[in-house]
Chain A
């Protein structure tokens, strides 16, 4: 019962936190670029405005896909706060990501098609990293269950420092921050700006935006597991991580997917092996 309440709380609070974070993100980014930037609540204003727009769609598959994307993202956050199994949470999240791609593929639009293919490469790049991070957590804690991991008596960061770096790669890709913003981008200087999202508009785009907030919160929640023993340090860790993401986003140029796949897989696997060997030796 307690799990259910926590899950519901997570599902209700996550989009609020995610929206605030998106607003803060834009403010900090503006500060880095010596601009004033929009109000903190701008992300909410945008989404409410989108919900009020006319429903314009190329086909009905897109509606199906964007809703499943949202439901899967919300459900995975709910499962996390309800202290479920990390792998299960991951698979539910992945289902949503797959539907986002399928919706984009269902449209005869060059931008959307290219975006969808790139999104697939991004999924291909971050998925194994996430599974390996979870496997690392399992090796330390002996369980995939979020509740058990939270109950572990030392910060995981101490034993899995390299896995945290691996996770931050996945976070950067999942947040579609530069240099990994291939499928869709926040910056207007890329050759494909909205890619996978091109054919979503109005309420459907709003749904995707909310789903993206859920996903951001989910990945940050996974980050928070690395210092779950102390609220203060957990928040410091999360703030530092997100700030680092913003710095990376604003200082890196976009690369190509080939580079991403080779670079992230090789770095990620190397770090994983080293960290796992430490665990076995220690």
Chain B
């Protein structure tokens, strides 16, 4: 047991240090790949062992405390280096609060188990270790190419992979923590890693966005410390399990839980804190993929979900549902106005995290299962999509979706994988949609929540459908098929296969794994919702039917007796049919050009963001105020 935990939490840190100090590219490749393999195996082994509680020795306890303060002082150093008053103030606040707490309030005689693994934690460890590792492996050829473009004298890859791999260990630590101070320590480590990774390229905008990420997440840090202190004063324990065992919270304890959830909101980039995650896309693509899918933001939703039993049935719970649903709606609306592929993905991430948080706030067994499933499926699909956009960007030199029109012609494989990735966020029988469906079922009693989910769901369809649609097209595939390194294609194909396999495994996963895990007490009433939902059909034949239907459509499409023709241009087309140009005024050829509706006058980013931020801020005050 302790060995597995060492592997999952400490090994990435050691591997990161190896990457940092041994500046050889082949050693780095080997270290990262081997770490990925070990993490995957260890996470599966940990799952096999089931739930556990782990007491760490006093040595580890002291080490974490020392490292915690060391880290805070490092952050403070960066605060001075960047001359950012906010970071300085927020970090000093954390140091003072934490120091006061450790010295004068905390009873060091009582020991609590440092780590624990329950179902939620084990699922999270799987996601972090497997998807995170795939992204790190994808990063190896990507960073080579990336630095090739930048013409650096001295490679910055050692530092990059130090923080990238360390991130995985910190995430594993965060989700496995039982001692809430350990949770805080790993929370800070992820904040710091993301700060270093976002600022990696060292450009002016990268530094600016990294600074913003740091101060915003420091706000979360302060909220978390305050939450920890209040929670300790009320319950007298640092153990999360012990706090949860006490049942629904009330009074001051509820405020503490509210503050912890607020820290989760910041980490999950919920409105009005979304700007740090949007800024994070200046970083190389593997960083965005990691931040958006398996780490960082998932730490935020994990914290909200983790404490969900404590606010069950309270006004705080309603408030959380409202905040989440509002973010879901608002970010879906903001995504419509975007043509930057990475920004669309970023808004979609925030939007989906909002949905997860809304589920946590609805807080019925069905909603909690929906939230957990959404964490899994979103991690797979979103990491796939980020890696796709990264691959496309390195090939065509643009991340604007308008420049991806007819991409199937030049990059058939990547285009198809991207289309599958997009459809997996959007259509049945893919998991994300099933979760959305479960969320809607669970939210049907909450008037405002269901209205926001309904509107958001429709907005989501628009920005995904048009992106997938414009990737299609083109009929003459260029003669030389696209070439990709193994470490680029491998993760893409594995994640794509993962998305497809999970679509078919969803009912199994739901019935055999998630219902017993999260709703054992309610299994009788919730076990058959999928069966009931399809009426006379069993769910598997239904999914098979969709699969067969899709295969049939593909067969029809590939049959060769279709005669190719040119698009209809009212008889005015000139030149090569493929170009699509037509004869315009003055007998000149007008080249073909198309563009999406971005509905700027309704969904413009600059126009909407201030109002959304005000509304979201108001909702958070409502949520916290309700806890008082």
B602 at the interface (CB under 8 A from A): yes
Please report the total number of A residues contacting B with Cβ < 8 Å: 76
A269 touches B428 (CB 8 A): no
Using Cβ atoms and an 8 Å threshold, which residues of chain B touch A108?
406, 473, 567, 578, 580, 592, 594
Please report the total number of B residues contacting A with Cβ < 8 Å: 67
B549 touches A75 (CB 8 A): yes
Q: Tell me whether A138 and B557 are in contact in the complex, defined as CB-CB below 8 angstroms, given that A84-B534, A124-B462, A258-B602 are known contacts.
A: no
Taking a contact as CB atoms closer than 8 A, the residue among B470, B553, B566 that contacts A71 in the complex is: B553
Give residues 18-71 of A contacting B (CB, 8 Å).
54-61, 63-65, 67-68, 71
Residue of A nearest to B446 (CB): A135
B458 touches A123 (CB 8 A): yes
A88 touches B437 (CB 8 A): yes
B556 at the interface (CB under 8 A from A): yes
A146 at the interface (CB under 8 A from B): yes
Q: Give min CB distance, B531 to chain A, whole Å.
A: 10
Using Cβ atoms and an 8 Å threshold, which residues of chain A touch B568?
109, 111-112, 198-199
Report the Cα distance A101→B597, complex, angstroms.
13
A120 at the interface (CB under 8 A from B): yes
Report the Cα distance A59→B557, complex, angstroms.
9
B601 touches A85 (CB 8 A): no
Report the Cα distance A71→B553, complex, angstroms.
8
Taking a contact as CB atoms closer than 8 A, the residue among B428, B464, B537, B592 that contacts A3 in the complex is: B537
Report the Cα distance A101→B467, complex, angstroms.
11
A107 at the interface (CB under 8 A from B): yes
Report the Cα distance A67→B580, complex, angstroms.
25
A15 at the interface (CB under 8 A from B): no
Report the Cα distance A104→B468, complex, angstroms.
11
A144 at the interface (CB under 8 A from B): yes
Report the Cα distance A248→B368, complex, angstroms.
45
B532 touches A85 (CB 8 A): yes
Using Cβ atoms and an 8 Å threshold, which residues of chain B touch A147?
535
Q: Contacts A3-B536, A83-B536 given; 16 further ones with Cβ under 8 A?
A: A7-B535, A57-B563, A79-B534, A82-B535, A87-B533, A98-B427, A106-B469, A107-B473, A108-B578, A123-B462, A128-B458, A131-B440, A135-B440, A135-B454, A144-B444, A272-B451
Taking a contact as CB atoms closer than 8 A, the residue among A4, A56, A92 that contacts B563 in the complex is: A56
Contact bitstring A258-270, B, C-beta under 8 A = 1, else 0: 1001000100010
Contact bitstring A108-134, B, C-beta under 8 A = 1, else 0: 111111001110110111011001100
Using Cβ atoms and an 8 Å threshold, which residues of chain B touch A128?
451, 454-455, 457-458
Residue of A nearest to B427 (CB): A95
A67 touches B469 (CB 8 A): no
A-B contact pairs, 15 of them (CB 8 A): A1-B536, A57-B562, A57-B563, A82-B536, A85-B533, A91-B437, A98-B468, A106-B473, A110-B569, A112-B567, A117-B597, A132-B451, A139-B445, A147-B535, A273-B451
Report the Cα distance A273→B455, complex, angstroms.
14
Using Cβ atoms and an 8 Å threshold, which residues of chain A touch B557?
60-61, 63-64, 67
Residue of A nearest to B458 (CB): A127
Report the Cα distance A85→B531, complex, angstroms.
10
A213 at the interface (CB under 8 A from B): no
Taking a contact as CB atoms closer than 8 A, the residue among B532, B550, B597 that contacts A120 in the complex is: B597
B562 touches A127 (CB 8 A): no
Using Cβ atoms and an 8 Å threshold, which residues of chain A touch B550?
68, 71
Using Cβ atoms and an 8 Å threshold, which residues of chain B touch A139?
444-445
Taking a contact as CB atoms closer than 8 A, the residue among B433, B466, B535 that contacts A117 in the complex is: B466
Contact bitstring B416-459, A, C-beta under 8 A = 1, else 0: 00000000001110000100010011001101001101110111
Q: Give min CB distance, A244 to chain B, whole Å.
A: 25
A276 at the interface (CB under 8 A from B): yes
Using Cβ atoms and an 8 Å threshold, which residues of chain B touch A258?
601-602
Using Cβ atoms and an 8 Å threshold, which residues of chain B touch A121?
462, 597, 599
Using Cβ atoms and an 8 Å threshold, which residues of chain A touch B81?
none
Q: Give min CB distance, B603 to chain A, whole Å.
A: 10
B552 at the interface (CB under 8 A from A): yes
Taking a contact as CB atoms closer than 8 A, the residue among B447, B536, B602 that contacts A4 in the complex is: B536
Using Cβ atoms and an 8 Å threshold, which residues of chain A touch B462?
120-121, 123-124
A250 at the interface (CB under 8 A from B): no
Give residues 145-166 of B contacting A (CB, 8 Å).
none
Instruction: Determine which residue in B454, B469, B549 has the highest number of CB atoms from chain A within 10 A of its CB, and name it.
Output: B469
A105 touches B441 (CB 8 A): no
Report the Cα distance A79→B428, complex, angstroms.
14
B621 at the interface (CB under 8 A from A): no
Q: Give min CB distance, A174 to chain B, whole Å.
A: 13
Taking a contact as CB atoms closer than 8 A, the residue among B428, B466, B533, B552 that contacts A67 in the complex is: B552
A123 touches B461 (CB 8 A): yes
A55 touches B563 (CB 8 A): yes
Report the Cα distance A87→B251, complex, angstroms.
38
Instruction: Determine which residue in B457, B458, B554 has the highest number of CB atoms from chain A within 10 A of its CB, and name it.
Output: B458
Chain B interface residues toward A at CB < 8 A: 406, 408, 426-428, 433, 437, 440-441, 444-445, 447, 450-451, 453-455, 457-459, 461-462, 464-466, 468-470, 472-475, 532-537, 545-546, 549-550, 552-554, 556-559, 561-569, 578, 580, 592, 594, 596-597, 599, 601-602
B535 touches A85 (CB 8 A): yes
A138 touches B444 (CB 8 A): yes
A145 touches B433 (CB 8 A): no
Q: Give min CB distance, B205 to chain A, whole Å.
A: 32
B537 touches A4 (CB 8 A): yes
Using Cβ atoms and an 8 Å threshold, which residues of chain A touch B465?
98, 101-102, 120, 123
Using Cβ atoms and an 8 Å threshold, which residues of chain B touch A110?
569, 592, 594
A58 touches B545 (CB 8 A): no
B469 touches A59 (CB 8 A): no
Using Cβ atoms and an 8 Å threshold, which residues of chain B touch A113?
594
A60 touches B580 (CB 8 A): no
A2 at the interface (CB under 8 A from B): yes
Using Cβ atoms and an 8 Å threshold, which residues of chain A touch B564?
56-59
Taking a contact as CB atoms closer than 8 A, the residue among B445, B554, B569 that contacts A64 in the complex is: B554
Report the Cα distance A230→B580, complex, angstroms.
56
Q: Give min CB distance, B193 to chain A, whole Å.
A: 38
B469 touches A104 (CB 8 A): yes
Report the Cα distance A155→B29, complex, angstroms.
67
Report the Cα distance A27→B473, complex, angstroms.
39
Using Cβ atoms and an 8 Å threshold, which residues of chain A touch B468?
98, 102
A199 touches B567 (CB 8 A): yes
A54 touches B563 (CB 8 A): yes
A234 at the interface (CB under 8 A from B): no
Residue of B nearest to A85 (CB): B533
Using Cβ atoms and an 8 Å threshold, which residues of chain A touch B592?
108, 110
Report the Cα distance A158→B207, complex, angstroms.
61
Give residues 180-212 of A contacting B (CB, 8 Å).
198-199
Using Cβ atoms and an 8 Å threshold, which residues of chain B touch A107?
473, 567
A16 at the interface (CB under 8 A from B): no
A157 at the interface (CB under 8 A from B): no
Residue of B nearest to A144 (CB): B441
B580 touches A109 (CB 8 A): yes
Query: What 5 pairs across the A-B complex have the smallest Cβ distances?
Result: A3-B536, A105-B469, A109-B567, A127-B458, A106-B472
B469 touches A91 (CB 8 A): no
Taking a contact as CB atoms closer than 8 A, the residue among A59, A103, A131 that contacts B475 in the complex is: A59
A221 at the interface (CB under 8 A from B): no
Q: Give min CB distance, B555 to chain A, whole Å.
A: 9
A135 touches B427 (CB 8 A): no
A94 at the interface (CB under 8 A from B): yes
A58 touches B565 (CB 8 A): yes
Using Cβ atoms and an 8 Å threshold, which residues of chain A touch B459?
124
A71 touches B472 (CB 8 A): no
Q: Give min CB distance, A109 to chain B, whole Å.
A: 3
A247 at the interface (CB under 8 A from B): no
A237 at the interface (CB under 8 A from B): no
A6 at the interface (CB under 8 A from B): yes
Report the Cα distance A75→B567, complex, angstroms.
30
Q: Give min CB distance, B591 to chain A, whole Å.
A: 11
Q: Tell me whether A146 and B535 are in contact in the complex, defined as CB-CB below 8 angstroms, given that A68-B549, A139-B444 are known contacts.
A: yes
Using Cβ atoms and an 8 Å threshold, which residues of chain B touch A3?
535-537
